[in-house]
Amino acid sequence: MATISTHFEWQVDSKGYRFERSHKPKGSLLGRREHDAIVRRGGGLQTRHPLEHFDTLYKQFSELDDSVEAYIDFASKFGPLTENGHAPEGDPVEDWRFWVSYMKHLIVVREVDPQKLIYDAPSPTEFGRMRARLVAQGPGGRPALRLIPVSLRDALWLQFAQSTVSGADLRTCDWCGTWFESGGGAGRRAGARFCSEKCRSTFNNRKKSKGVRS
Ligand SMILES: [Zn+2]
């Protein structure tokens, strides 16, 4: 079975994002913006790799509260939802709302029965668009296949899908409360209580300093 790697880099406005109301000129059929949107503040674009440092970003995304501020905050860290977010028209607020609630829905369905994701809760086709490339894999080796999500929205879906396939458990760190995955193909062993070695040792040191035996 061939190995398939993934790679996702995404542009983020260095000045962040803001809310802009729709302003369709009266009597015009060609309004500049028909929806309230999250738009760029117009700083330079920085390249980031949102999935590399946040292996449960899809879960964070699903927990955004239903507010424009939450969407702006997420966009300012990880970038806009789609390619539209790089352009002046931005991503419609409605789209943010829809995809957050859809991700939430997928996670709930998965908890009940992962099989249901296939027939009962198929993702809309815009969720999970990928490009595929052949890339070098070490000197002299065969090329490897790489999947490249088209947008942040697709990358979040890919991350969700990978964790579903791996069978990893999703839980929160007993020390810092961050979501992490354990077991399956995840980095932490099954049943792990902490997201990282750092959190595990901090927790244990605190316990010792309080004189509690583990
Ligand atoms: Zn932690």
Q: What is the pLDDT of residues 52-70, one digit of tens each?
A: 888 899 999 999 999 999 9
Share of the chain above pLDDT 70, in %: 92
Residue type, 75: A
Domain positions in the chain are 4-166, 168-214
Place of tokens 């086709």: 125
Q: What is the pLDDT of residue 122?
A: 87
C-alpha of residue 65 to centroid of ligand 1, in Å: 22
| 51 close to 58: Cβ distance less than 8 angstroms | no
C-alpha of residue 21 to centroid of ligand 1, in Å: 38
How far is residue 178's CA from residue 156's CA, in Å, rounded to a whole number? 17
- pLDDT tens, 114-142? 999 999 888 898 999 999 999 887 777 78
pTM: 0.83
Q: What is the pLDDT of residue 190?
A: 82
- pLDDT higher than threshold 70 for residue 31: no
Mean pLDDT to the nearest integer, 19-26: 80
- pLDDT higher than threshold 50 for residue 23: yes
C-alpha of residue 56 to centroid of ligand 1, in Å: 13
Closest CA to 92 of 105, 75, 108: 75
C-alpha of residue 37 to centroid of ligand 1, in Å: 34
Helix 68-78 to helix 93-112 angle (10° resolution) is: 80
Mean pLDDT to the nearest integer, 148-175: 91
For 26, 75, 131, the CA distances from 4, given in Å and listed in that order, are 51, 28, 12
